[in-house]
């Protein structure tokens, strides 16, 4: 990269705010031009230069727009803005070596856990978390280069769509503590098998700092594999789950209460949300606090009041003794089976109604996985089952001769009968992938 002569603009460069969206740019910041699938940041160089007098722009030499501004003292030219961000993120991580970094990966629950940990850790000391759900090869670096030195606890999520991505991201982040929340079927269509998904998530283990720590889900079918990898890396291993061997474990007392045990301490916890991902996230929060020697009882009040994003397993009560579990934000084969089992086994005298929408992003496995859900449902005896979406017809065909169920080809058709689902003295669980539109419908109808 060729530096300008106007060095005054570059004072305190590492502590400036960095943006990749021109609409977010502010005065005396840095705008990094990224060429994406749908837009090209280089197209916005001129308006940024016109609107801000002290803002620096980073752009690529190969861009067809760059040559127009290469003589401007506020425009820096590099070979790749993506690698510029990576290199800058590596510098930032080196400078913050005394701070504590947490890296979260897994098939679901990453963003929610990140926000929960950040909220709790902020009560004890200065904290930072990656922006929004920024967790890819652009999102993680831009979050890291925007981090300020004062943050003692720093929480990041690491996502992936293919093998090698978690390795790439965790080499940048170098977490002191890694967390693998779970292994599900969220990327089955892209990675081809759940074993490949597990392999991709496990990449974080080899990039945890020396003498670091990994938190693992003891109930995950790949637990032993992850544990062996961590032992070979000589990491400290902490575990969570319902298994009594876990460092922290739990048991459900009733619909909205569970008992938590960590080491030799036991305490009850009031649930706002009994989705398994939420329960596991709570366990991880308490485990992290215990590991950092922070007071878990102080965090209990905070965590009990945290409201989840709509559709993440929220418990909502209505008149006529109607209770709703809204889990309509995410669904994949493993999480759906677990939700079905947990819902059916929830202690309640109310009749139970199940509303299922399509599971998305399963690729060529979609039909088979929906048929498998239908066969799985035959183990249970729900009062009613409603099925929504093109793929869910495969579930309907497995169960329609066995017990009461109704099929809708679209969310719009289901919407017309929505009020009929909320029957008195019933407990209703809604579960679907966000892209089905069920979450959007419930946001209008229930909140």
> Is 189 a residue whose pLDDT tops 70?
no
Which residue in 304, 283, 311 sits closest to 443, CA to CA? 311
100 class by beta-carbon count within 10 Å (0-12 exposed, 13-18 middle, 19+ buried): middle
Q: How confident is the model at residue 149 (pLDDT cuts 50, 70, 90)?
A: confident
315-340 average pLDDT score: 88
pLDDT, one tens digit per residue, over 106-118 is 987 888 899 999 9
Q: By the 8 A CB rule, do 430 and 326 touch?
A: yes
pLDDT, one tens digit per residue, over 39-81 is 999 999 999 999 999 999 999 999 999 888 988 999 999 999 9
Contacts of 287 by beta carbon, 8 Å cutoff, 6+ apart? 215, 238, 240, 247, 248, 262
> DSSP assignment of 84-105, as one string?
HHHHHHHHHHHHTTTSEEEEEE
pTM over 0.75: yes
As given in the structure block, the two tokens for residue 225 are 């594999």
363-381 average pLDDT score: 95
Q: By the 8 A CB rule, do 185 and 200 touch?
A: no
Which residue in 222, 284, 279, 285 sits closest to 251, CA to CA? 279
Q: What are the extents of the domains in the chain?
A: 7-79, 86-305, 314-445
Would you tell me how many other CB atoms lie within 10 Å of the CB of residue 187? 22
As given in the structure block, the two tokens for residue 304 are 């009990």
CATH H superfamily, domain 7-79? MurE/MurF, N-terminal domain (3.40.1390.10)
Q: By the 8 A CB rule, do 101 and 121 touch?
A: no
> DSSP assignment of 270-328, as one string?
E-SB--HHHHHHHHHHHHHHHHTT--HHHHHHHHHHPPPPTTSSEEEEETTTEEEEEE-
Q: How far apart are CA 204 and CA 104, in angstroms?
A: 9
Q: By the 8 A CB rule, do 88 and 145 touch?
A: yes
The residue behind tokens 């009041």 is: 305
| Mean pLDDT rounded to a whole number for the chain | 91
287-297 average pLDDT score: 92
Q: How far is CA 364 from CA 8, 359, 370, in A?
A: 56, 12, 11
CATH number of 86-305: 3.40.1190.10
Lowest mean pLDDT among 8-17, 135-144, 381-390, 437-446: 8-17
309-327 average pLDDT score: 84
The residue behind tokens 């009594």 is: 244
The CATH class given to the 314-445 domain equals: alpha beta
Angle, helices 276-291 vs 296-305, to 10°: value is 150
Q: How far apart are CA 288 and CA 283, in angstroms?
A: 9
Q: Estimate to the nearest angstrom the gap between the alpha carbon of 394 and the chain centroid.
A: 28
As given in the structure block, the two tokens for residue 162 are 């293919």
Give the residue, 146 or 276, on which the prediction is more confident.
Answer: 146
Q: What is the pLDDT of residue 112?
A: 87
153-157 and 127-129 strand pairing: parallel
pLDDT, one tens digit per residue, over 15-41 is 899 999 999 999 999 999 999 888 999
> Is 403 a residue whose pLDDT tops 80?
yes
170-178 average pLDDT score: 98
Q: By the 8 A CB rule, do 256 and 271 touch?
A: yes
Q: By the 8 A CB rule, do 204 and 158 touch?
A: yes
Q: How far apart are CA 157 and CA 281, in angstroms?
A: 13
Q: What percent of the chain has pLDDT over 70?
A: 96
Q: By the 8 A CB rule, do 391 and 370 touch?
A: yes
Q: 179 — phi, psi (to 5°)?
A: -135, 130
Q: What percent of the chain has pLDDT over 90?
A: 70
Q: What is the pLDDT of residue 3?
A: 47
Q: 49 — phi, psi (to 5°)?
A: -60, -40
241: left (phi over 0), alpha (psi -120 to 50) or beta: left
Q: How far apart are CA 383 and CA 352, in angstroms?
A: 5
As given in the structure block, the two tokens for residue 278 are 């939420």
Q: What is the pLDDT of residue 185?
A: 66
> Is 358 a residue whose pLDDT tops 90?
yes
As given in the structure block, the two tokens for residue 55 are 């803002």
**How is residue 209 annotated by DSSP?**
P
As given in the structure block, the two tokens for residue 241 are 């789950």
pLDDT, one tens digit per residue, over 237-272 is 999 999 999 999 999 887 778 999 998 899 999 987
Q: How far is CA 16 from CA 100, 142, 216, 280, in A?
A: 22, 12, 36, 37
């Amino acid at each position: 990269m060729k530096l300008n002569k106007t060095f005054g603009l570059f004072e305190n460069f590492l502590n400036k705010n960095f943006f990749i969206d021109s609409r977010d740019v502010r005065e005396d910041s840095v705008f990094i031009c990224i060429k994406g699938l749908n837009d090209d940041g280089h197209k916005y160089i001129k308006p940024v230069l016109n609107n801000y007098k002290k803002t620096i722009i980073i752009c690529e030499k190969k861009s067809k727009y760059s040559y127009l501004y290469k003589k401007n003292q506020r425009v820096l030219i590099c070979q790749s803005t993506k690698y510029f961000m990576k290199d800058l993120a590596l510098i930032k991580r080196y400078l913050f070596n005394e701070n504590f970094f947490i890296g979260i990966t897994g098939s679901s629950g990453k963003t929610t856990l990140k926000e929960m940990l950040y909220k709790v850790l902020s009560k004890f000391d200065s904290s930072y978390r990656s922006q929004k759900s920024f967790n890819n090869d652009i999102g993680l670096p831009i979050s890291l280069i925007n981090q300020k030195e004062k943050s003692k606890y720093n929480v990041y999520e690491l996502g992936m769509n293919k093998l090698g991505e978690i390795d790439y991201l965790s080499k940048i982040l170098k977490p002191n503590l890694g967390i693998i929340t779970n292994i599900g079927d969220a990327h089955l269509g892209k990675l081809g098998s759940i074993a490949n998904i597990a392999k991709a998530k496990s990449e974080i283990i080899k990039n945890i700092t020396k003498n670091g720590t990994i938190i693992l889900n003891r109930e995950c079918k790949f637990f032993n594999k992850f544990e062996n990898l961590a032992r070979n890396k000589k990491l400290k291993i902490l575990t969570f789950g319902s298994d009594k061997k876990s460092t922290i474990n739990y048991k459900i007392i009733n619909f909205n209460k569970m008992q938590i045990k960590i080491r030799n301490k036991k305490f009850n916890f009031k649930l706002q949300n009994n989705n398994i991902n939420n329960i596991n996230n709570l366990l991880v929060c308490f485990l992290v606090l215990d590991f950092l020697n922070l007071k878990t009882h102080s965090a209990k009040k905070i965590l009990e009041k945290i409201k989840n994003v709509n559709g993440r397993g929220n418990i909502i009560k209505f008149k006529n003794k109607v209770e709703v579990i809204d889990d309509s934000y995410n669904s994949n084969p493993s999480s759906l089976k677990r939700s079905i089992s947990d819902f059916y086994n929830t202690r309640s005298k109310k009749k139970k109604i199940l509303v299922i929408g399509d599971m998305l992003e399963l690729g060529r496995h979609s039909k088979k996985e929906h048929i498998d859900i239908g066969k799985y449902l035959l183990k249970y005896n729900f009062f009613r089952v409603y099925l929504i979406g093109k793929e869910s017809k495969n579930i309907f065909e497995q169960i329609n001769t066995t017990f009461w169920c109704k099929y809708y080809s679209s969310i719009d058709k289901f919407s017309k009968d929505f009020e009929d689902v909320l029957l008195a003295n019933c407990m209703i669980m809604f579960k679907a992938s966000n892209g089905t539109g069920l979450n959007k419908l419930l946001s209008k109808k229930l909140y």
